[in-house]
Amino acid sequence: MSDKKPFEIAREALKQITARKLLPTPVNYQAVYNEIAGVPNVQPFPEEPLRRIAQALPARNPGQEKQRSLMEYAIGQRNWAGVQNALVAYAGFITAGTGDTGPAPLAPTPGVPALTPEFFEQIARLIEYTRPALGEDDARFQEQLQLVVRALRDPAAEAYKVKALLADFSHRLSFAAEDQAEVRVTLLKLLQLIIENIGELSMDEAWLKGQADALREAAQPPLTLRRLDDVERRLKDVIFKQKDAKGRALEAQEELRQMLATFIARLSQMVESSGAYQGKMEESVKQIEQAKKIEDIAPVLKEVISATRHMGTESAGVRDELRAMREKTQATEAELVKLHRELDRVSAQARHDTLTGALNRHGLDEAMNREVSTVRRKDTPLSVALLDIDNFKKLNDAKGHETGDAALAHLATVARECMRPQDTLARYGGEEFVILLPDTPLDKGVEAMTRLQRELSKRIFLAGGDKVLITFSAGVAQLSASESGAEAIRRADQAMYLAKRAGKNRVIAA
């Protein structure tokens, strides 16, 4: 190790490059600098060439695809041991892959017949794998399928007979596949019809109509298992809230019906009392007209006063009862209004952030669990990106919180327009967002976030007439086999912090 100071070593290195007539490249400068400093000359990690090699590797089976993803991850970590292990494992899938790992196709060996029992067994398994997708309604088709499979697995079967059976079966298979496709289209039309009917029957129910609109959008083809899961979840929400609202509305209707019946009974009672009172008054008038002296009038007046007092008391009671009924009706109406407002609020906030329309933390947890389950089941890559708007506090302080909210909504809008249908956007908190990128290895996830940065820089954000450049720093992590979704987000968060430290407006892989 040299005792010279770094600036002295640097100056001496430049002199040596000139004296040796070397090209002033970074590699030559580093070699001369290390030589003068007395430290080993470690070559820089060739990240870009290795990435090009990884991208050029074919992925003919899931095993090769997984090892290529691991190699790309190791390159991002600058891990030579990881690159070596991935390459060695990748080579194993070329020469020794069997079963589900799917070996690479080998050239035919001279002298070995192409139509081997193993080849027929592969065809038989392929036919059996298609069976669940074609249904079991057609008994003739099922019989033909079993006949072909038995022939393929019969060691004594002759090739030309098997070929004829396969030709007949493929013809029948085309009809069965067309039938299943038609069934799928018809079922989708029925689903759309049901959704439209719900929306039309609920024109006055804003919360339910909004759910129906969202459900209609989610049920648009092409459908995938992920989208069907979303349709199922939304349908459950709609059905639950519809039952809740219907039950409460029926209770309110029953209360109003009972109050109306009571009102009619009281009205009838008042009419009857009024008729009796009127008859009493007419009889009293006749008695007064027939009276010969003042003593004959006194008893009649007492009866009139008594009847009038009774009528007044009864009228006051009915009036009080009707007033109580009116107040109860008003309370019921207010409760219904409150219920609908609460349903609106719950419907909007159950899984989505009201400001940006992205999923909230609860919705993110559900989406993450679904994607992690898919990764474990299918062994596909999942990238998780965590975005944080740069200098957001300064924007809030300078332009106000309303401008800050508008900036968050602007970022969410641009992100949704750049994302694929299968991607998921969620507001993680404050000015942070999480994007789930299924079927996406780490390097492709970084590329996706970089494209989003470029698109965001093209989209002008206006704050009170002023043009403001909105940027973000992001970290991207690929879910590993042994970690949870929360752990992947935590790694992406750490990478995002490094992006902030490195100057902001950049994307770093975890």
What backbone phi and psi angles, to 5 degrees, belong to 141? -65, -40
pLDDT greater than 90 at residue 103 = no
Buried/exposed 57-91: b ≥16 CB within 10 Å, e otherwise: beeebbbbbbbbbbbbbbbbeeeeebbeebbeebe
Question: Which DSSP letter does residue 45 get?
Answer: P
Question: Model-level pTM?
Answer: 0.42
Of the candidates 262, 198, 189, which has an alpha carbon nearest to the alpha carbon of residue 221? 189
Pick the residue with more confidence: 143 or 388? 388
- Say what the alpha-carbon torsion angle 195, 196, 202, 206 is, to the nearest 10 degrees: 80
- What confidence score (pLDDT) does residue 154 get? 85
Pick the residue with more confidence: 495 or 107? 495
Q: Dump pLDDT digits (tens) for 464-490.
A: 778 888 999 999 999 998 899 999 999
CB of 385 closer than 8 Å to CB of 448: yes
Confidence of residue 100 (pLDDT cuts 50, 70, 90): very low
pLDDT greater than 50 at residue 416 = yes
Q: What's the rounded Cα separation, in Å, for the pair 161 and 171? A: 16
Of the candidates 428, 429, 443, which has an alpha carbon nearest to the alpha carbon of residue 485? 428
- What confidence score (pLDDT) does residue 275 get? 66
Q: What is the full DSSP assignment across 178-239?
A: HHHHHHHHHHHHHHHHHHHHHHHHTTT-HHHHHHHHHHHHHTPSSP-HHHHHHHHHHHHHHH
For the segment 485-508, the average pLDDT, to the nearest whole number, is: 93
For the segment 489-504, the average pLDDT, to the nearest whole number, is: 93
pLDDT greater than 80 at residue 344 = no
Pick the residue with more confidence: 33 or 431? 431
- What confidence score (pLDDT) does residue 15 get? 86
- What confidence score (pLDDT) does residue 173 get? 77
- What confidence score (pLDDT) does residue 439 get? 93
- What confidence score (pLDDT) does residue 98 get? 41
What backbone phi and psi angles, to 5 degrees, belong to 391? 55, 40
CB of 177 closer than 8 Å to CB of 134: yes
Average pLDDT, the chain: 77
Strand order in the sheet with 472-478: 424-429, 432-438, 382-389, 472-478, 507-509
Contacts of 400 (CB under 8 A, 6+ apart): none
Q: Please measure the distance between the N-terminal and C-terminal CA atoms of the chain and give it in whole angstroms.
A: 34
CA 292 vs. chain centroid, Å, equals 96
Q: What's the rounded Cα separation, in Å, for the pair 278 and 282? A: 6
pLDDT greater than 50 at residue 224 = yes
Q: What's the rounded Cα separation, in Å, for the pair 239 and 1? A: 75
Percent of the chain whose predicted confidence (pLDDT) is above 70:
68
In whole angstroms, how far apart are CA 167 and each of 36, 76, 136, 271, 376? 77, 50, 21, 90, 38
- What confidence score (pLDDT) does residue 126 get? 83
Structure tokens at 325: 């009924």
What backbone phi and psi angles, to 5 degrees, belong to 477? -125, 145
Confidence of residue 207 (pLDDT cuts 50, 70, 90): low
| CA max distance for the chain | 154
Among 102-106, 125-129, 340-344, the least confident range: 102-106
Say which amino acid occupies 50: L
Q: Dump pLDDT digits (tens) for 423-469.
A: 999 999 889 999 999 999 999 999 999 999 999 998 888 887 788 88
- What confidence score (pLDDT) does residue 130 get? 77
Of the candidates 399, 385, 395, 377, which has an alpha carbon nearest to the alpha carbon of residue 473? 385
Q: Which residues pair with 387 in a beta bridge?
A: 433, 474
- What confidence score (pLDDT) does residue 112 get? 45
Give 182: exposed, middle or buried? Use CB within 10 Å, 0-12, 13-18, 19+.
exposed
- What confidence score (pLDDT) does residue 76 get? 79
Q: Dump pLDDT digits (tens) for 105-157.
A: 444 545 545 567 777 788 888 888 777 777 676 777 788 788 888 888 888 77
pLDDT greater than 50 at residue 102 = no
Q: Dump pLDDT digits (tens) for 41-74.
A: 766 778 888 888 888 888 777 777 778 878 887 7
CB of 467 closer than 8 Å to CB of 461: yes
pLDDT greater than 50 at residue 96 = no
Of the candidates 476, 480, 457, 477, which has an alpha carbon nearest to the alpha carbon of residue 467? 457
Cis peptide before 132 (omega within 30 of 0): no
- What confidence score (pLDDT) does residue 101 get? 43
Strands 472-478 and 466-468: unpaired
- What confidence score (pLDDT) does residue 311 get? 67
- What confidence score (pLDDT) does residue 253 get? 65
- What confidence score (pLDDT) does residue 99 get? 42
Structure tokens at 33: 């600098």
For the segment 410-434, the average pLDDT, to the nearest whole number, is: 92
- What confidence score (pLDDT) does residue 452 get? 95
Q: Dump pLDDT digits (tens) for 190-199.
A: 777 777 776 6
Pick the residue with more confidence: 147 or 345? 147
Q: What's the rounded Cα separation, in Å, for the pair 346 and 2? A: 70
pLDDT greater than 70 at residue 77 = yes
